[in-house]
Amino acid sequence: MPVVGKPLPHESAIGHATGQAPYIEDLPPRADELWVDFVGSPCARGVLERIDADAARALPGVVAVLTAADIPGHNHWGGVVVDEPFLAASELAYVGQPVVAIAAVDRETALRARRAIKLHVREEQPVLTIEEAIAAGEFLGAEQRIARGDFAAAWKSAPHRLETTVTIGGQEQFCLESQSALAIPEEDGTIIVHSSTQNPTEIQAVVAEGLGVGMHRVVCICRRMGGGFGGKETQAAIPAFLVALVASRTGRAARMVYTKDDDMKVTGKRHQYRADIRAAFDEEGTIQGVEIRFHSNGGAFVDLSFAVMERTLFHADNGYFIPNFDVVGRVCRTNLPPNTAFRGFGGPQGVAAIEHTIQEIARVLGRDAADIRRRNCYGIGERDITPYGQRFVHNTLPEIYERLLASSDYAERRRRVAAFNAESRTHLRGLAITPVKFGIAFTATFLNQGNALVNVYTDGTVQVSTGATEMGQGVNTKIRQIVADEFGLPIEAVRMMTTSTEKNINTSPTAASAGTDLNGLAARDACEKILREMRTFAAGIFTGGETGLGTDPALIRFRDGRVFDERRPGNFLLFDQFAKRCRLNRVNIGARGFYATPNLHFDRATGRGNPFNYFTCGAAVAEVLIDRLTGELVVDRVDLLMDIGRMINPGVDRGQVIGGFIQGLGWVTTEELVYSPKGHLLSYSPTTYKIPGVDDVPRDFRVAFLDNARNTHNIYASKAVGEPPLLLGLCAWAAVKDALATVAGAARAVPLNLPATGEEILRCLTALEAHVTALPGVLAPAK
């Protein structure tokens, strides 16, 4: 029976649940192994004048104390721009930036050495915020722009105009496994690096460049990660290089695992944004034009900030056709750790800006924002061209809107919310629906490729290796199902192998929600190459038979562990017997597969092209309750409907949708990054940084899927699911704005920034209700 489409358990589920699945910290230590730590910059901006490490070097058990001068190759790396040092040599750019690497016989000795090293620094005034960077002219790179139509003319002629600004907060990836790496030296100068990374090829490359050796002398291995969320796409590079440097210098294995405090303090996060918006619209709420000026907080170095900003511009339209559209983005340089990839990769910030705009338009017109969203939704066969010139084909958003509004009983609940707000003196309710249209592909076209190695053994079992990295999202489980079905085998006959650059070369990071798309199609390509050989051989075996008929290879079937001519299914060979005969007859039953996504292109000079393979769509309705006295927020109910095509594994995909939504809910309601005036992260532990807990999830959470088999150019008509549901968390933030609009009225803007923490909500309420007469002990009902 086919296994694609079945909700099979995650391939490592038992290991995860029992604690038997090994992560890098769990790998057995070698007798000669060293523990690696680092000393970071004590200030956000300054000049390193001297390093005093004599006391550390004198400690028993300290084997090496290394600085930038000890790096044999290049001391700079970067995924896009090579601008970030592995170890700072003179200029210090953020608090905790690695300056000195320490290798000791154990963790405790390394920590003592870390405390013994003194950095003598001339501290300078840091730039920490977007506003400070703009004022100081501190930017990374040039402006990026996507535009169509004539916004200036639309603005001039519009019946209604709106100017608004929203601040969109960052977010910590908060992986359960911190940044980790283990390096093992081998003969001939080869280094094996076990890294908790989403991007093994990049680790291989930066380690080779830093050590001054060829990539053929570095192998990167990643069995699994304890979470990634984009935080291990580039930021795994520094710990991987430092352990490789120690291993190369000492000839001993070296391991490094950041503490959770260090991980949060020194690694990049989701970018904070400021969006300055102008919108032109008519009495009915039809948007005639939108202009947005985005500024992001890139941190001290480029990392992936340019690509993140580009995806922001691509997604600033979200699900809406806007004829006159002008969006510009600029990355600010600040003295914070370089911000990086995070699930959604800039898309959430773009969507937040336009959803904020929709809510404000609705408030100004005194209309339900759901009506504004439906009125401006992309059309089918018309009004279906994005601002960058790509046609939005197979648009299911109108259907999703109608189904979800009906199934969530939106109209009746809207009436109940209005009645509640008219009566309650202590609480407010809000209700909102928000959509998502998320483009699937890397916007760097060359990354849209994958390769796979499939080996069939003579006992009928199969090994599969791909460049995909497993971080809990289930990519290996899905690929395993694909390969099992290609050969007509039970899932138990297929094993996913550890990801290694020795077996899969020049791979793309597992990111952009494209892991299954690229690697699954590459694995299927390898299977098809093997099956062509097998069918030809099988046709020779089955030719003649009882009927004397010749057999066409196209008639050979692989099903339920059997190989047969479809015209004579009773005359079969068991797959394991057949595989053994293949080898005895010198038939190749191993192959490397490759896939490159076709028809992708984008001209950055003109802002036009076809950057995405397809769009994953959905919508969610949220109803929230706000305590007007404290700002406490409760998400009472969420109804979510997504189009993710034909699911390869409904259990895994449902988990991704729920997990992604909750992570997005955390971003928009509870997760706030707080820095000191000197650039020190203050919210660096679970006690001060609040990811969603049991009490924060919707009290009533309803998840449904649209059955859609039209995405036929992707593997089994499936759609990517990793990132899009996160953006639907914005429905809760929009519902908070909807509730506050009850107090604000048409004449006053709702000054709600993101995240809508209890403190932020209370700040807005205090500002909005200053004109409301308070009764003893309670607030007056909204006017």
**Residues classed as catalytic:** 723
Q: Is 576 helix (H, G, I), strand (E, B) or coil?
A: helix
Task: Tell me the DSSP string of 713-760.
Answer: TSGGGB---SSHHHHTTHHHHHHHHHHHHHHH-TTS-----BS--HHH
Q: 3-state secondary structure string, 261-318?
A: HHHHHHCCCECCEEEEEEEEECCCCCEEEEEEEEEEEEECCCCCHHHHHHHHHHHCCC
**DSSP at 320:** B
Task: Tell me the DSSP string of 38-72.
Answer: EEE-SSSSEEEEEEE-HHHHTSTTEEEEE-GGG-S
Query: Who contacts 783 (Cβ-Cβ below 8 Å, separation ≥6)?
Result: 745, 772
- Which residues on adjacent β-strands are paired with residue 262? none
Which of 210-224 are b and which e, b meaning 16 or more Cβ less than 10 Å from the residue's Cβ? bbebebebbbbbbbb
Look at the block and give the residue holding tokens 């003319």.
153
Q: Distance (Å, rounded) from C-alpha 317 to C-alpha 148?
A: 12
Q: Is 242 helix (H, G, I), strand (E, B) or coil?
A: helix
For residue 546, which of 567, 525, 518 has the smallest C-alpha distance? 567
Q: Is 423 exposed, middle or buried (0-12, 13-18, 19+ CB in 10 A)?
A: exposed
Look at the block and give the residue holding tokens 């899905």.
478
Radius of gyration of the chain (CA): 28
C-alpha angle 168-625-682 in degrees, rounded to nearest 5: 40
What does residue 457 show for φ and ψ, rounded to 5 degrees?
-105, 165
For residue 641, which of 335, 326, 408 has the smallest C-alpha distance? 408
C-alpha angle 235-236-241 in degrees, rounded to nearest 5: 115
**DSSP at 323:** S
Written as six digits, the tokens of 645 are 């095509």
Task: Tell me the DSSP string of 349-416.
Answer: HHHHHHHHHHHHHHHHHT--HHHHHHHHB--SSSS-B-TTS-B--S--HHHHHHHHHHHTTHHHHHHH
Task: Tell me the DSSP string of 169-225.
Answer: --B----SS-SEEEEEE-GGG-EEEEE--S-HHHHHHHHHHHHT--GGGEEEEES--
Query: What is the residue type of 174?
Result: F
Written as six digits, the tokens of 236 are 């795994």
Query: Who contacts 327 (Cβ-Cβ below 8 Å, separation ≥6)?
Result: 145, 146, 147, 290, 291, 292, 293, 294, 313, 316, 350, 387
For residue 616, which of 516, 763, 737, 476 has the smallest C-alpha distance? 516
Written as six digits, the tokens of 36 are 């690696």
Do strands 139-148 and 254-257 pair parallel, antiparallel, or not at all (unpaired)?
Answer: unpaired
Helix axes 515-542, 575-584, angle to 10 degrees: 80
Helical (H) or strand (E) element with 536: helix 515-542
**Peptide bond before residue 323 is cis, with ω within 30 degrees of 0:** no
Taking a C-beta distance cutoff of 8 angstroms, is the pair 179, 267 a contact?
Answer: yes
